[in-house]
Amino acid sequence: MASKKRGNQELRSIWDWRITAIAALLLLIIGLLGISFGPINLRFDQIFKTILGLPNGLTDQERAVLIDLRLPRVLLAALVGGALATSGAVYQTVFRNPLADPYLLGAASGAGLGATIAITNAHGNLYGLLPVFAFCGAILAVLVGFFISGKFFAEPNSLLLSGIAVGSFATAVQTYLQQRHSASLRPVYSWILGELTAASWRVVTWSSVYILVALTILFAISKQLDGLMLTDEEAYSLGINPNQIRVVAVIAATLATATAVAASGLIGFVGIVVPHLIRGVSHRVTNRALPTIALIGAAFLVLADLGARTLLSPAELPIGVITAFVGAPFFLVVLRRKRLINQ
């Protein structure tokens, strides 16, 4: 009894779960805002009646707007935001590099090449397969980087470097294809800036499977991930096999990233800003924060998407523009405050 209590206290000193609860509440509130606003005015009370299945709710068309347009879009934004933020945090731990982001290891360039192939193919009939191509491109690029670096994680930096080389190669091929098919420049461009306009229940369904599996794995190994912040000898002495954890972590994080990219294009900055924000605000570097990082990443992207839909309404603004435009200055403020505290 006494020891269990002490264990809880230790855990609390590592991570305060109340922060996670607040993050979950925040995501819920922002999610509700997300489904409440759009070009068509839907009344709050009617939205609730419809969700709760009560009579006197929305008309059939309003229902379709809520259920088939807004809800999948908000859910997809949440999934993608959670995936990118979590895999960013994991990459930063695995590579012991605060600048590591989910698109490291060539995942973004590989996905970009896959998407461009789908968009620029001769008759446009691969367009519907864009997510599959982007997904395969991302996974392939990371695998190639893996095999070229050879020793895998004995030296994380060699994987990083081969990832950069593979990424540059994929970008070169992508640019070549784009030049040869300049007529399809706009779809490629809007995909690169990131878009959630294609959100539908089908996309939400398949992406949620991969993302939730990947996130569950990462949450489950969060304690061992903390061990990677020590030297490898110290990690072994704690009963952790660092290379094994690294392989599992990178595969899971890449799966989450590739799925996010395939579903929504390249949305930058979430994977760097959110982990540092949570770690900066909480003064904790522990990977116990991963669920919180996922929740805040989700909330951040849902909010950014709300901006993308409303700022130029009834037109769209690419969401990647918002994440960087809002994220970068905010991030700088957090960095500066953190520096002042450290002094």
For the bound state, the minimum distance from the C-beta of residue 141 to another protein, rounded and expressed in Å, comes to 25
Interface pick for another protein out of 34, 225, 309, 323 (rule CB under 8 A)? 309
* Of residues 179 and 342, the one with the C-beta less far from another protein: 179
Structure tokens at 249: 């972590």
Residue in this structure with the two tokens 């305060």, named with its chain if needed: 16
Minimum CB–partner distance for residue 317 and another protein (Å): 8
CB atoms within 10 A of CB 248: 18
Question: According to the binding rule CB under 8 A, does residue 314 interact with another protein?
Answer: yes
Looking at 165, 198, 213, 326, which residue binds another protein (CB under 8 A)?
Answer: 198
How far is 278 from 330, CA to CA, in rounded Å? 13
Part in contact with another protein (CB under 8 A); list of ranges 75-83, 185-193, 281-289, 292-300:
185-193
Q: Which two tokens mark 77? A: 């934004």
44 part of the interface to another protein, by CB under 8 A: no
Of the residues 46, 97, 190, 243, which one makes contact with another protein according to CB under 8 A: 190
Burial 314-337 (b: 16+ CB within 10 A, else e): eeebbbbbbbbebbeeebeebeee
Among 11, 43, 54, 124, binds another protein (CB under 8 A): 124
Which residues fall within 8 angstroms of residue 161, CB to CB, at 6 or more apart? Answer: 149
The encoded tokens of residue 210 equal: 């991969």
DSSP 67: I
Residue 217 binds another protein (CB under 8 A): no
Which token pair is 229? 């912040």
> Pick from 51, 129, 173, 316: which binds another protein (CB under 8 A)?
316
Instruction: List interacting residues with another protein (CB under 8 A).
Output: 38-40, 60-61, 64-65, 68-70, 72, 123-125, 127, 179, 182-183, 186-187, 190, 195, 197-198, 200, 309, 312-317
